Amino acid sequence: MGHDASLLTTKRAAHDGEAAPFSARRIAEEPVGRCALCGGQAFDPVASGYDYEMQTCGNRWHVRRCQHCTHEQLDPRPAAGALPVIYPADYYSYEMDRTVGRFAMWGKTRLDRLKLRAPLAALGRLPDGYLDVGCGDGRYLGILQSMGVPRSRLFGLELDGRAVQRARDAGFHAWQVRAEHASDLIAAESLDLISLFHVIEHVSDPVAVINSLKGLLRPGGVIVIETPNVDSLDAKLFRERFWGGYHFPRHWHLFSEHTLCRMLEDSGLVVRNCTYQTGHAFWLYSLHHALKYRDGARFPRLARWMHPLRSLPALIAATGFDFVRARLGQQTSAVMAIAHKPLS
């Protein structure tokens, strides 16, 4: 997808009196105004920052917390026409196998298998139908296939056409559509398991997405959502500007365990449990951004060693740190909620 030149303005943009810390262009924004979870219109400021990670634009972005339900969201956010700019063709989630080293990918696959144990245990069996929203090239679909689920019962949604084609080449049913349109392709109440691993924070209306996906679940079916955790240690340490979980401007909604579970319950689902997962990339990006962009204390060489796609030792250390903390019951960088559709 090409960039829309009409959305781009001059380089080295200044916003709210502060210039971007790198050479970048402005993109169009749209106001939000209402809380996506409760409809509230009163907010408190939480954080502001730039696209430190990919430098796709020079806008300054703001996270605001709803005074009524405490949900946090980006406001304003990128206009719909700017999505090809902030999600370029080389966005790492579209081609994980190519952007992550072989050893790191081996470790990630093992962690992903561990992650799937909890939703499968909640279901009590292998699913007869499984949908992965934000499937990339079909990584989780492949894991379920290796466990014995037929490829004919494995489905994926993804916004990048190339990733969808790779999933199709692997024999899976995959479509380049938004989650809200899954019901146009998959029969109602035909699935046992739906996963959204680091997806719900990217959508414009998370409540609408959950309500739409709920219709695809059989009674007793399970939905699992993993997302950045605003109550984690790294979020608190880097709250005002540099937390990697903000992923400016691609994360439009930021959840705590409380707000995530409330959203699921308000949608008529029954929350089974919440667990904490490793969020190594959030730790490393937080350190990277602070070392490189903090005013008066820039250490670009050291920052490079904190980049999760460039430093395997740092990646291993951050993963181990969060893995141990999660096993001790502490709130880590990512929270995962498992819920089921009531039987009646």
Q: d(Cα 42, Cα 190) in Å, to the nearest integer?
A: 40
Q: Of 57, 86, 115, at which residue does a domain stop?
A: 86
Nearest to 230 by CA among 318, 332, 319, 321: 332
Do residue 31 and residue 98 come from a single domain? Answer: no
Residue 246's nearest CA partner among 201, 288, 205 is: 201
Same domain, 169 and 233: yes
CA distance 61 to 73: 11
If asked whether residues 71 and 189 sit together in one domain, one would say no
What pLDDT, on the 0 to 100 scale, is given for residue 143? Answer: 95
Q: Sorting pLDDT into bands at 50, 70 and 90, what band is 8?
A: very low
Last residue of a domain, one of 86, 120, 147: 86
CATH code at 148? 3.40.50.150
Query: What is residue 324's predicted lDDT score, i.e. its pLDDT?
Result: 87
Question: In this structure, are 282 and 162 located in the same domain?
Answer: yes
Are 252 and 235 within one domain?
yes
Alpha-carbon distance of 224 to 306, in angstroms, equals: 30
Is the pLDDT assigned to residue 242 strictly greater than 60?
Answer: yes
* 219 and 320 co-located in one domain: yes
Check whether residue 68 and residue 210 sit in a common domain: no
**pLDDT tens profile 89-128:** 877 665 555 555 564 565 567 778 888 999 999 999 999 9
Same domain, 63 and 9: yes
Domain limits for position 121: 92-340
* Domain final position from 86, 121, 141: 86
Q: What's the pTM value of the predicted model, to 2 decimals?
A: 0.88
Is the per-residue pLDDT at 79 higher than 80?
Answer: yes
What are the CA-CA distances from residue 213 to residues 118, 135, 261, 315, 343 (Å)? Answer: 20, 15, 16, 33, 16
pLDDT at 7: 40
- As for how many domains the chain has, the answer is 2
Q: Which helix (H) or strand (E) holds 72?
A: strand 72-74
Task: Provide the β-strand partners of residue 63.
Answer: 47, 74
Residues 50 and 191 in one domain: no
Nearest to 143 by CA among 169, 176, 175, 167: 167
Q: Are residues 141 and 290 in the same domain?
A: yes
Do 151 and 298 fall into the same domain?
Answer: yes
Residues 163 and 269 placed together within one structural domain of the fold: yes
d(CA 260, CA 208): 14
Helix, strand, or coil (residue 55): coil
Q: Is 125 exposed, middle or buried (0-12, 13-18, 19+ CB in 10 A)?
A: exposed
Task: List, for residues 175-226, the tens digit of each pLDDT value.
Answer: 999 888 898 999 999 999 999 999 999 999 999 999 999 999 999 999 999 9
